[in-house]
């Protein structure tokens, strides 16, 4: 297994935290303020017959002609069954779903969060009333006071660029009834729709226990066109409670070729559109790019950001701020995956993932040492617990917990045999020595790249990520092992387990699982 690291590993992400020192530049950058309104006003509802769903389960259900699920707010969503040759159309009973943002590293849930706006996954639904904004006027002012006065007179959304003590540019925004805006950041202010905190990466050394968050309070905003195809665009920085964005004297700013001010934020918002998409068989990592406040994108360099700005290639369709299925968004501390509604319709359901586990349980895999039948947790089978002191015959007994030798993939129970130094274990079947870890199913369906789940006979062959033991399909493990993600401000780009964010082993990032079938 070789991971393509050619240009990516050289990327020095430290420059992100030092961007305050970037010199003020007046570079020409191709305009991106103009948003092409490519919606073609498809009539979504008229020509589709409503299917009465018999049940509305959280995991979704199929009928012969539709797929039904309910979202986190119990809104019922109905999609006509997909035909890969036709354009995906959807009919909604109560709302239209644009897509999902999944935070990498949480595997379907977030412990200890009592905030409804902080979760592992954020669903973007069409708003009842549009709340998008678009730039409408630009003012050059002598002092900050003049800028404040201007904004007081017109308290709509605005971006303030402080160029020097004697020059401030204010760009005022106006409502856009064709778009919805969603804001993401660390702040718990109501202006933020989706609160994202720094992801704790299990195997990265924490140098300083009091290390401050590197995610901005108002990190980025996503603006989605309200009409099909619901084009979603990402912009750096979010508006605060006073509807303002500030770029101070030290932030990198420039005037684009249309004379409009633009700039980037301190730690930046990076995006990466994987080559060949999220579910392609030959998908792979692509170049990470930085997004500006006005949505321009440009290359990062291993030296500094600034010299690269002139290299923007806006004619290249791959270099834009339009989110597509599988686009990764890095907020410098957490990485988000965008799943479009079209992509989600081809993604396995939670039910399918549970069926895979049930199938494994039905094989009655056995531990060759303890001779116990191993049990995976499903909806109906509670997870055995390492702490459980119940009798060994119980399903909850710890020696029924499936464990894997990461070197060879042999699956055993939680026994004490073959302990070597440094907690390594010797596999009794093949004598390879290495880590021995618990297998935990990856249960967040949106992180799976598989598409052939509609055929229920087509269950996947289980693989596990190394070194964490998160279990997923072969295709999903291979995909994520090829995708490089920024980790922290100094760790460069690595492939990570999408379920826990751990850095994957460079050699052999995943292993095929080998079970001993029982009788
Ligand atoms: Zn083995
Ligand atoms: Zn993992």
- How would residue 382 be classed by pLDDT, with cut points 50, 70 and 90? low
Which candidate, 121, 126, 79, places its Cα nearest to that of 100? 121
The predicted pLDDT at position 256 comes to 85
**Ligand 1 center to residue 411 CA distance, Å?**
8
Please give the average per-residue pLDDT across 217-238, as a whole number: 96
**Ligand 1 center to residue 431 CA distance, Å?**
6
- How would residue 417 be classed by pLDDT, with cut points 50, 70 and 90? confident
Cα gap 452→429, rounded to integer Å: 33
**Ligand 2 center to residue 500 CA distance, Å?**
4
Distance of CA 132 to the CA centre of its chain: 23
Of all ligands present, the nearest one to the C-alpha of 107 is 2
Please give the average per-residue pLDDT across 118-126, as a whole number: 92
Cα gap 228→218, rounded to integer Å: 28
For the chain, what percent of residues have pLDDT higher than 70? 70
Do 65 and 80 contact (CB within 8 A), yes or no? yes
**Ligand 2 center to residue 504 CA distance, Å?**
8
Return the structure tokens found at 106.
Answer: 């949480």
Between 110 and 478, where is the model more confident? 478
- How would residue 298 be classed by pLDDT, with cut points 50, 70 and 90? confident
Of the listed ranges 180-184, 272-276, 396-400, the least confidently predicted one is 396-400
Cα gap 305→328, rounded to integer Å: 20
Residue 64 has pLDDT above 90, yes or no: no
**Ligand 1 center to residue 427 CA distance, Å?**
5
Return the structure tokens found at 431.
Answer: 């004598």
Residue 158 has pLDDT above 80, yes or no: yes
Residue 412 has pLDDT above 70, yes or no: yes
**Ligand 2 center to residue 501 CA distance, Å?**
6
- How would residue 210 be classed by pLDDT, with cut points 50, 70 and 90? low
The predicted pLDDT at position 18 comes to 38
Which candidate, 150, 307, 155, 124, places its Cα nearest to that of 222? 124
**Ligand 1 center to residue 414 CA distance, Å?**
15
Distance of CA 463 to the CA centre of its chain: 21
Cα gap 220→232, rounded to integer Å: 13
Cα gap 294→32, rounded to integer Å: 6
Return the structure tokens found at 378.
Answer: 């499903």
Of the listed ranges 87-96, 98-107, 293-302, 508-517, the least confidently predicted one is 87-96
Global pTM value = 0.80
**Ligand 1 center to residue 159 CA distance, Å?**
60
Of all ligands present, the nearest one to the C-alpha of 510 is 2
Residue that is written with structure tokens 């003012």 in the block: 139
Of all ligands present, the nearest one to the C-alpha of 426 is 1
- How would residue 66 be classed by pLDDT, with cut points 50, 70 and 90? very low
Which candidate, 476, 438, 437, places its Cα nearest to that of 356? 476
Element (DSSP H or E) covering residue 132: strand 132-141
Of all ligands present, the nearest one to the C-alpha of 509 is 2
- How would residue 428 be classed by pLDDT, with cut points 50, 70 and 90? very high
The predicted pLDDT at position 43 comes to 31
Of the listed ranges 77-86, 190-199, 460-469, the least confidently predicted one is 77-86
Of the listed ranges 5-14, 323-332, 434-443, the least confidently predicted one is 5-14
Query: pLDDT digits over 28-53, tens only?
Result: 333 322 222 333 333 332 322 222 33
The predicted pLDDT at position 470 comes to 97
The predicted pLDDT at position 379 comes to 67
The predicted pLDDT at position 459 comes to 82
Q: Compute and round to an integer the Cα radius of gyration of the chain.
A: 25
Please give the average per-residue pLDDT across 311-319, as a whole number: 57
The predicted pLDDT at position 276 comes to 94
Between 483 and 492, where is the model more confident? 483
Residue that is written with structure tokens 């992100």 in the block: 16
**Ligand 1 center to residue 284 CA distance, Å?**
30
The predicted pLDDT at position 261 comes to 93
Q: Using the CB atoms, write b or e for 377-391: b if 16+ within 10 Å.
A: bbeeeeebeeebeee
Between 485 and 266, where is the model more confident? 485
**Ligand 2 center to residue 464 CA distance, Å?**
8
DSSP secondary structure code for residue 300 in this structure: -
Cα gap 139→149, rounded to integer Å: 12
């Amino acid at each position: 297994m070789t991971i393509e690291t050619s240009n990516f590993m050289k990327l020095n992400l430290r420059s992100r935290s030092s961007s305050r020192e970037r010199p003020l530049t007046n570079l020409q950058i191709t305009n991106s303020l103009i948003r092409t309104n490519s919606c073609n006003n498809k009539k979504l509802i008229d020509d589709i017959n409503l299917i009465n769903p018999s049940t509305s389960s959280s995991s979704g259900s199929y009928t012969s002609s539709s797929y039904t699920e309910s979202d986190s707010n119990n809104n019922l969503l109905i999609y006509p069954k997909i035909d890969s040759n036709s354009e995906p159309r959807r009919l909604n009973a109560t709302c239209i779903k644009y897509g999902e943002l999944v935070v990498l590293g949480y595997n379907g849930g977030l412990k200890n969060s009592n905030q409804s706006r902080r979760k592992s996954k954020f669903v973007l639904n069409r708003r009842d009333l549009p709340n998008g904004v678009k730039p409408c006027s630009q003012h050059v002012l002598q002092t900050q006071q003049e800028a404040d006065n201007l904004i007081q007179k017109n308290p709509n959304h605005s971006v303030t660029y402080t160029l020097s003590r004697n020059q401030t540019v204010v760009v005022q925004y106006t409502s856009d009834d064709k778009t919805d805006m969603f804001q993401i950041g660390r702040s718990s202010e109501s202006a933020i729709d989706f609160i994202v905190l720094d992801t704790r990466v299990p195997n990265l050394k924490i140098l300083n226990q009091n290390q401050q968050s590197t995610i901005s309070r108002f990190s980025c905003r996503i603006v989605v066109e309200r009409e099909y195809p619901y084009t979603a665009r990402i912009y750096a920085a979010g508006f605060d409670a006073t509807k303002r964005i500030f770029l101070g004297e030290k932030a990198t700013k420039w005037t684009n070729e249309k004379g409009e001010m633009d700039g980037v934020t301190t730690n930046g918002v990076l995006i990466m559109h994987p080559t060949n998409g999220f579910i392609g068989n030959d998908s792979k990592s692509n170049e990470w790019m930085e997004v500006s406040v006005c949505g321009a994108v440009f290359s990062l360099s291993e030296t500094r950001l600034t010299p690269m700005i002139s290299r923007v290639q806006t004619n290249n369709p791959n270099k834009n701020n339009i989110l597509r299925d599988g686009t990764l968004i890095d907020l410098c501390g957490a990485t988000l995956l965008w799943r479009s509604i079209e992509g989600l319709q081809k993604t396995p359901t939670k039910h399918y993932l549970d069926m895979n586990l049930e199938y494994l349980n039905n094989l009655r895999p056995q531990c060759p040492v303890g001779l116990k039948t191993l049990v995976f947790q499903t909806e109906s089978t509670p997870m055995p617990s390492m702490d459980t002191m119940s009798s060994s015959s119980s399903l909850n007994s710890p020696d029924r917990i499936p464990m894997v030798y990461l070197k060879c993939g042999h699956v055993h129970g939680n026994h004490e045999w073959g302990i070597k130094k440094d907690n390594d274990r010797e596999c009794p079947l093949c004598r390879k020595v290495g880590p021995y870890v618990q297998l935990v199913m990856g249960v967040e369906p949106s992180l799976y790249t598989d598409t052939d789940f509609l055929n229920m006979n087509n269950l996947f062959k289980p693989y596990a990520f190394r070194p964490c033991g998160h279990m997923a399909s072969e295709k999903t493990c291979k995909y994520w092992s090829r995708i490089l993600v920024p980790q922290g401000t100094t760790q460069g780009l690595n492939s990570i387990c999408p379920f826990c964010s751990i850095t994957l082993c460079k050699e052999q990032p995943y292993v095929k699982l080998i079970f001993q079938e029982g009788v």
